[in-house]
Amino acid sequence: MPYSKPYPLLERIDSPADLRQLPESELAPLADELRRFLIASVSKTGGHLAAGLGTVELTLALHYVYNTPDDRLVWDVGHQSYPHKILTGRRERMASLRQRHGLAGFPKRDESPYDSFGVGHSSTSISAATGMAIAAAHSGSDRRVVAIIGDGAMTAGQAFEALNHAGDLGANLLVILNDNDMSISPNVGALSNYFARLLSGRMYSSMREGGKKVLRNLPPVAELARRAEEHMKGMVVPGTLFEEMGFNYIGPVDGHDVTGLVKTLHNVRALKGPQLLHIVTRKGKGYSPAEDNPCAYHGVGKFDPHTGTDAGGGKPGAPTYTQVFGDWLCDMAAADPELVAITPAMREGSGLVEFSERFPQRYFDVGIAEQHAVTLAGGMACDGLHPVVAIYSTFLQRAYDQTIHDIALQNLPVTFAIDRAGLVGPDGPTHAGAFDLSYLRCIPNLVVMTPADEAECRRMLSTAHRHAGPAAVRYPRGRGPGLAVEPDLDTLPIGRAESRREGGRIALLAFGSLLAPALEVAEQLDATVINMRFVKPLDEALLREVASRHERLVTLEENAVAGGAGAAVLECLQANGVQRPLLQLGLPDRFVEHGTREELLAECGLDAAGILEAINRWQADENCAGRADRLVC
Ligand SMILES: Cc1ncc(C[n+]2csc(CCOP(=O)(O)OP(=O)(O)O)c2C)c(N)n1
Ligand SMILES: CC(=O)[C@@H](O)[C@H](O)COP(=O)(O)O
Ligand SMILES: [Mg+2]
């Protein structure tokens, strides 16, 4: 298949209005072109591929039938929205996808009027769409609202909170359940089994008939009679899960039959009240490497579209922090039979593949359910297990109350292995782990650690695991400085920082990933460098001692300055009556957009050059005046 021009039909589509000019007979060939374009484009930029391949026909049908952008399409997660971007005037800009100043990898309201809701985290679509449906009703508008949610995203509590509300409200809303039987890895849970039953043999065909029935725009009496009949069939007709929540269940239908979808959507668009259309798709559809391995093609780097092989020349070298964690987990599990590991649907990303294979009885993928993951760990810890919650910093935000109320308040020994802390790069602000130090350090009982290298990461994980209360280790996306990791399971003394360089008038207090540039900068400034290691508890004694020997202090962290580790140092000095000029370097008080991690760190002044410049500027300023978000005197 040629993954390049010509795209004779696609090149005529600069907006959905152009699409709507086409006869229905041209939609299937257009789907082929769109799919080819998508593969060619992502092969050059990297990004989320398999999910988008599965939504090509759906996206065409939606823009064909609905009056977008006035009608609202709300994509869940948004990783499947590339076909939508291509059809809504952004085809040429796909070459800039996820690059600095380029197109975002997710729908973004300020990028296009067709992106009706900003997204990146999952399971928000039904809530947002319900809100829009309420707003439409409020203004007397006839606008239609459609939420498109995957079977993986449907496992999260928020999706059910929204169904529960929208169904009761009778909101004018269509929810499309895009069921491909996959999350990033194979989907899990009773709901996933339920969807599988819905699709199985006899049920599928009987539901197809049922779907046709629903497509008739029934008068209220007939509708009531139909519901009563369905209710009586409730023990055997699985569609009633949604029916009982107040939704009209339609389907399952083939999500790759574009003309069939157009017909169905035309009918559904005419219906009022909460509708749920269940479509069946294949993740990676139409590209055999992705169909064969949808997990690997969920998110990809650059690749050769003809062979599907890595075109970026996967850089060998030091392990990533994720791998350091995965190795530690297996080693600690071998030593501790009570260790259990929990992931909210991020087995691959969190480094749990080997653990899941070696210790299947102690491995728990709970689906996209961060809140449940954390409270589950609490319950396990109550009764003698030693849980490790492997979670991305940005997704732990979802489980904040659980972290406080279910873990810390009860001082339960749960280890939080927090990956993707700090800037993550191409996924942008939705996925940046910019806030965990701020939101964790204020929680009593919680130990918070920031490893500066791979070896320290392993030690800190062991420290957390052996600690009698809750403890978190937060580490960045990708590789560290490349330190050799010893196979031991040794621990570190809690709350003890270490001096890494003795210098003159200025001391750099570095947290985690910023130790490396701090050491570089220190050579030029002849500065003392402290590897702070612990954000909580801080090494107060060392801080007092360092402050007494230096004229100026600088804190460095890959976290928001607001409320972060530097703020903890400031509070500590103040509480001890120590007054020293203090420069706080960290992430600014704005959302940092997408780009490579290196570009973004430089943009925020957190590479060695930026740090040096900020310190020199600060030192040159007699009054210690400067940017309020970075400087405290
Ligand atoms: C709150 C949250 N947790 C985890 C993720 C990571 N994540 C992104 S896509 C995805 C799987 C989604 O599966 P599904 O909704 O079925 O979409 P598919 O990729 O199968 O089309 C996961 C776990 C996320 N984006 N948001
Ligand atoms: C869409 C989503 O939430 C995930 O696919 C995420 O993009 C994974 O990020 P990593 O590539 O850092 O694992
Ligand atoms: Mg899915």
pLDDT tens-place string over residues 378-406: 999 999 999 999 999 999 999 999 999 99
Judge whether residue 531 has pLDDT over 60.
Answer: yes
385 and 517 in a single domain? The answer is no
151 is in an annotated binding site: yes
Judge whether residue 312 has pLDDT over 70.
Answer: no
Contact predicate 262/279, CB 8 Å: no
Structure tokens at 98: 């996820």
Q: Determine the average pLDDT of the residues in 183-194.
A: 91
The CA distance from 615 to 583, in Å, is: 8
Ligand nearest to C-alpha 106: 2
280 and 414 in a single domain? The answer is no
User: Dihedrals φ, ψ of 239, to 5°?
Assistant: -60, -15
Distance 151 CA to ligand 3 centre (A): 5
201 and 262 in a single domain? The answer is yes
Residue with tokens 């060619």: 40
Structure tokens at 305: 């579209």
Question: Reduced to 3 states, what is the DSSP secondary structure of residue 136?
Answer: helix
Q: Determine the average pLDDT of the residues in 223-233.
A: 49
Q: Determine the average pLDDT of the residues in 360-382.
A: 98
Judge whether residue 233 has pLDDT over 70.
Answer: no
Any domain includes 480: no
The CA distance from 457 to 438, in Å, is: 20
> What pLDDT is stored for residue 4 in this prediction?
74
79 is in an annotated binding site: yes
Atom of ligand 2 minimally distant from the CA of 419: 12
Q: Alpha-carbon dihedral of residues 485, 489, 490, 493, nearest 10 degrees? A: 100
The CA distance from 3 to 36, in Å, is: 6
452 and 596 in a single domain? The answer is no
Ligand nearest to C-alpha 321: 2
Q: Which residues contact 299 (CB under 8 A, 6 or more apart)?
A: 46, 47, 48, 49, 79
Tens of pLDDT, residues 127-180: 999 999 999 999 999 999 999 999 999 999 999 999 999 999 999 999 999 999
> What pLDDT is stored for residue 120 in this prediction?
98
Q: Determine the average pLDDT of the residues in 226-236.
A: 48
Any domain includes 556: yes
The CATH number given to whatever domain includes residue 433 is 3.40.50.970
Query: Domain end: 474, 492, 511, which one?
Result: 474
97 and 207 in a single domain? The answer is yes
Tens of pLDDT, residues 200-224: 753 454 444 444 444 444 434 454 4
The CA distance from 564 to 242, in Å, is: 44
Tens of pLDDT, residues 551-594: 999 999 999 999 999 999 999 999 999 999 999 999 999 999 99
Poorest-pLDDT segment among 51-55, 228-232, 566-570, 589-593: 228-232
Q: Whose CA is nearest to atom 7 of ligand 2?
A: 427
Poorest-pLDDT segment among 36-45, 216-225, 335-344, 483-492: 216-225
> What pLDDT is stored for residue 209 in this prediction?
47
Any domain includes 550: yes
Q: Which residues are bridge partners to 442 per DSSP?
A: none
Residue with tokens 């204020």: 442
Any domain includes 566: yes
Q: Which residues contact 278 (CB under 8 A, 6 or more apart)?
A: 177, 179, 195, 198, 239, 249, 250, 251, 252, 253
Q: Nearest to residue 444, comparing CAs of 418, 470, 416, 413?
A: 470
Contact predicate 29/287, CB 8 Å: no
Residue with tokens 């319950």: 379
Any domain includes 106: yes
Ligand nearest to C-alpha 280: 3
User: Dihedrals φ, ψ of 63, to 5°?
Assistant: -70, -25
Ligand 2 pocket test, pick from 97, 149, 431 with the greatest ligand atom count within 8 Å of Cβ, gives 431
> What pLDDT is stored for residue 200 in this prediction?
73
> What pLDDT is stored for residue 396 in this prediction?
98
Any domain includes 269: yes
> Residues of the chain with pLDDT > 70: what percent?
91
545 and 468 in a single domain? The answer is no
Q: Determine the average pLDDT of the residues in 422-433.
A: 98
Of the pLDDT bands very low, low, confident and very high (cuts 50, 70, 90), residue 199 is confident
424 and 524 in a single domain? The answer is no
Judge whether residue 632 has pLDDT over 50.
Answer: no
Atom of ligand 2 minimally distant from the CA of 346: 13
Structure tokens at 386: 């030693």
426: Cα within 13 Å, side-chain hemisphere: 15
User: Dihedrals φ, ψ of 419, to 5°?
Assistant: -90, 170
Q: Whose CA is nearest to atom 11 of ligand 1?
A: 183
Distance 482 CA to ligand 2 centre (A): 23
154 and 96 in a single domain? The answer is yes
Structure tokens at 137: 């009703």
338 and 465 in a single domain? The answer is yes
Any domain includes 612: yes
CA 280, distance to chain mean position in Å, is 24
User: Dihedrals φ, ψ of 610, to 5°?
Assistant: -65, -40
The CA distance from 608 to 521, in Å, is: 6
Q: Determine the average pLDDT of the residues in 592-603.
A: 98
287 is in an annotated binding site: yes
The CA distance from 122 to 124, in Å, is: 6
Pocket of ligand 2 (CB under 6 A): 48, 77, 79, 184, 298-299, 349, 420, 424, 427, 431, 477
For 318, other C-beta atoms within 10 Å of its C-beta total 18
For 312, other C-beta atoms within 10 Å of its C-beta total 10
- What residues are annotated to the active site? 283, 370, 398
Query: Domain end: 474, 489, 523, which one?
Result: 474
Judge whether residue 359 has pLDDT over 60.
Answer: yes
89 is in an annotated binding site: no
313: which DSSP letter?
-
Round the average pLDDT of the chain to a whole number and report it: 92
Residue 510 backbone class (left: φ over 0; alpha: ψ -120 to 50; beta: rest)? beta
CA 22, distance to chain mean position in Å, is 36
For the chain, the distance separating the N- and C-terminal CA atoms, rounded to the nearest angstrom, is 63
| Omega before 252 within 30 of 0, i.e. cis | yes
Tens of pLDDT, residues 256-273: 999 999 999 999 999 999
User: Dihedrals φ, ψ of 178, to 5°?
Assistant: -90, 100
For 224, other C-beta atoms within 10 Å of its C-beta total 11
Q: Whose CA is nearest to atom 26 of ligand 1?
A: 121
Domain that holds residue 581: 501-629
Q: Nearest to residue 290, comparing CAs of 96, 30, 28, 48?
A: 48
Q: Whose CA is nearest to atom 22 of ligand 1?
A: 184
Any domain includes 492: no
Query: Domain end: 406, 439, 474, which one?
Result: 474
> What pLDDT is stored for residue 231 in this prediction?
47
Helix axes 125-139, 157-169, angle to 10 degrees: 20
Distance 572 CA to ligand 3 centre (A): 47
Q: Determine the average pLDDT of the residues in 223-228.
A: 50
> What pLDDT is stored for residue 629 in this prediction?
41
Distance 106 CA to ligand 2 centre (A): 11
User: Dihedrals φ, ψ of 587, to 5°?
Assistant: -75, 140
Pocket of ligand 1 (CB under 6 A): 51, 54, 77, 79-80, 121-122, 150-153, 180, 182-184, 283, 345, 368, 395, 398
Number of domains, the chain: 3
Distance 466 CA to ligand 2 centre (A): 30
Ligand 1 pocket test, pick from 53, 76, 77 with the greatest ligand atom count within 8 Å of Cβ, gives 77
143 and 48 in a single domain? The answer is yes
> What pLDDT is stored for residue 238 in this prediction?
55
The CATH number given to whatever domain includes residue 576 is 3.40.50.920
135 and 278 in a single domain? The answer is yes
Q: Which residues contact 423 (CB under 8 A, 6 or more apart)?
A: 432, 433, 434, 476, 477, 558, 587, 592, 597, 600, 601, 604
Distance 49 CA to ligand 3 centre (A): 13
> What pLDDT is stored for residue 256 in this prediction?
98
330 and 436 in a single domain? The answer is yes
The CA distance from 415 to 471, in Å, is: 5
Ligand 2 pocket test, pick from 283, 398, 427, 479 with the greatest ligand atom count within 8 Å of Cβ, gives 427
Structure tokens at 314: 């996967």
| Omega before 451 within 30 of 0, i.e. cis | no
The CA distance from 617 to 392, in Å, is: 35
Apex 350 CA angle, 511 and 389, nearest 5 = 80
Between the alpha carbon of residue 317 and those of residues 91, 301, 478, 482, the distances in Å are: 36, 17, 11, 8
Q: Determine the average pLDDT of the residues in 432-460.
A: 98
